[in-house]
Amino acid sequence: MVHPPIYVERTLALMKPDAIDDAEEIEAVILTSGFTILQKRKLQLSPEQCSDFYAEQYGKLFFPTLTAFMSSGPIMALLLARENAIAHWNSVIGPVDPIKARESHPQCLRAKFGTSALQNALHGSDSLPAAEREIKFIFPNSVCECSPVGETASEYLSKYVNPTLLRGLTELCKQKPRNPYTWLSDWLMNNNPNKPKTHDASIVGEAKAN
């Protein structure tokens, strides 16, 4: 029986200003819920940045209050990964209104740390397009795509990663550098088959002139 490939999904989690003091406890829940934390950063957004982040909410009555609150203090941003990450993270944090959450989902994070529909402690992306946009906003250098696991990952590694790595290790054995870790890292960067080809601008200019 052929099983469909399982993909690791990414989502963005924000600990809002009202939850920043509980960051360690919340992070522990994240890890015990099966997530991997790929990246993490503490930052404080300006009102303008908050307006851009919540652009889809523009025009709603709560929008000015929301941007003012989110820019009122530091936040903790985490890039999370696991299978079905978006839906699972939203399940862990629970309903938007913490007061209602305490009745319907008393174990969720918003029920425990939130105080109102505005100050509800945590944010989670609500869809894949939203996750991609929000991750790029907070972690602009992150590659936001689903990654294969299981047999699909093994096939990917065998086809695209192992040949280059084998060449690098073979060359490492020949060169025997003093710092093999740094040498191999540099070699892989310089011999990445997916790296775009670049040309010296002066050479290109001379070629056009000739």
CATH 3.30.70.141 in the chain is located at: 6-149
Amino acid residing at 162: N
Catalytic residue among 88, 105, 123, 199: 123
Q: What is the pLDDT of residue 199?
A: 45
The whole-number pLDDT of residue 81 equals: 95
User: Of all helices (H) and strands (E), which one includes residue 77?
Assistant: strand 75-83
Count CB neighbours of 196 within 10 A. Answer: 5
> pLDDT value at position 155?
58
Complete DSSP assignment for 34-68: T-EEEEEEEE---HHHHHHHTGGGTTSTTHHHHHH
Domain boundaries for CATH 1.20.890 within the chain: 151-196
C-alpha distances (whole Å) from 20 to each of 24, 64, 77, 100, 204 are: 9, 21, 10, 22, 52
Look up 199 and say whether it is catalytic.
no
Task: Please name the residues in contact with 195: beta carbons below 8 A apart, sequence gap of 6 or more.
Answer: 189
Indicate the class that CATH gives domain 151-196. mainly alpha
Query: What is the structure's pLDDT at 161?
Result: 73
At 75, give phi and psi (nearest 5°). -125, 165
Please choose, from the candidates 6, 8, 5, the residue with its C-alpha nearest in 3D space to the C-alpha of residue 147. 8
pLDDT at 145: 54
Q: Which CATH class, in words, describes the domain spanning 6-149? A: alpha beta
Which two structure tokens, joined as six digits, stand for 50?
A: 């908050």
pLDDT of residue 15: 98
**Sequential pLDDT tens for the chain (210 residues):** 444 555 789 999 999 999 999 999 999 999 999 999 999 999 999 999 999 999 999 999 999 999 999 999 999 999 999 999 999 999 999 999 999 999 999 999 999 999 999 999 999 999 999 999 999 999 988 765 555 555 445 555 666 577 888 888 898 898 888 888 788 888 887 887 765 444 444 444 444 444
